[in-house]
Amino acid sequence: MGKPVYKYRSSNAESIPASAIGILATSSSTDDRLIARELRTVILGYVPAFSQSTEAISDVAGEVAFLKSRASLVSIETGVRGIGMMSWSGGPNPLEVHQALLTAARAGKAFFHLSRIYPVLCIVPARPKAIAVALSEALNSHLSKMEVTSEKLYLQLDIKVRNNSGLTGSDILKETSPAILKTLDDRKIEGHILAAAGDLTLLVHVCRKRAFCGIVPPDRVSNFSVTTAASKENAEHPSTTTGSKDSF
């Protein structure tokens, strides 16, 4: 018998729990099922925290049980083309998964139609106030886990709005910037918001009714493209294969 074919049920953003963490990906494809399938393949195949768990599973029932308990694929609300997300409860931090995927890209692993991959630390309604609160809490949590030796911190807000006619990046920036600076001020840190990459990059991806937020440390502020990561490796090792062309 051939390998079982899994069918993925699309669900809109309203069904994504606010506590979900995961990876948001852009793709050159507009086929939701294809994006979901490829995203599942690369994460379960290239991220040790997931792949090592699945290696011990010998039957289909066991794999299905694992996916239901640890990892679940979620398609972004219909109308946001070329976007997919994989979320999970507990388990690895999205930044760890993001790093593992970049490492796989540099090693020449196939990413098919996937173009860019972003870590998601929280999901909130696409409202400026909700986004500002979520990013402030995420930043505060992030800083509490790292040793900050500088009295100044330079931040970049990377904001993208897709298929939401009532919200603009300027709306989000206007509400979020003061909240972020206040969070830093409370920690006795002088904060600065830059247009270019800084010490940290705060990510906001609005996909219709939901905002997917994340934080990326300085060593990865520009490393979202798996095709670019692969291309840099190819410049030194021409025989390495790459994924698809980035369309976002």
Kindly report, residue by residue over 69-118, the tens digit of the pLDDT.
555 667 787 788 899 999 887 778 899 999 999 999 999 999 999 999 99
pLDDT band at 239; cut points 50, 70, 90: very low
Position 210 pLDDT exceeds 60: yes
User: Greater confidence, 176 or 151?
Assistant: 176
* Phi, psi at 202, each rounded to 5°: -100, 125
pLDDT of residue 222: 57
Tens of pLDDT along 133-147? 999 999 998 888 877
- The secondary structure of residue 5, as a DSSP letter, is P
pLDDT band at 13; cut points 50, 70, 90: very low
**Residues shown for the chain:** 248
> For the CA atoms of 200, 161, 27, 64, what is the dihedral angle to 10 degrees?
80
Radius of gyration, CA atoms only, the chain: 18
Position 166 pLDDT exceeds 50: yes
pLDDT of residue 1: 39
Position 15 pLDDT exceeds 60: no
- List C-alpha distances in Å: 232 to 27, 197, 228, 239: 20, 19, 6, 12
Query: With contact defined as beta carbons under 8 Å apart, do 21 and 121 qualify?
Result: yes
The architecture that CATH gives domain 13-236 is: 2-Layer Sandwich (3.30)
Mean pLDDT of the chain: 80
Q: Which two tokens stand for residue 93?
A: 């931090």
pLDDT band at 23; cut points 50, 70, 90: very high
Percentage above 90 pLDDT, the chain: 46
pLDDT of residue 79: 80
pLDDT of residue 14: 45
Distance of CA 13 to the CA centre of its chain: 15
DSSP for 127-172 reads -HHHHHHHHHHHHHHHHHTS----SEEEEEEEEEEES-TT--HHHH
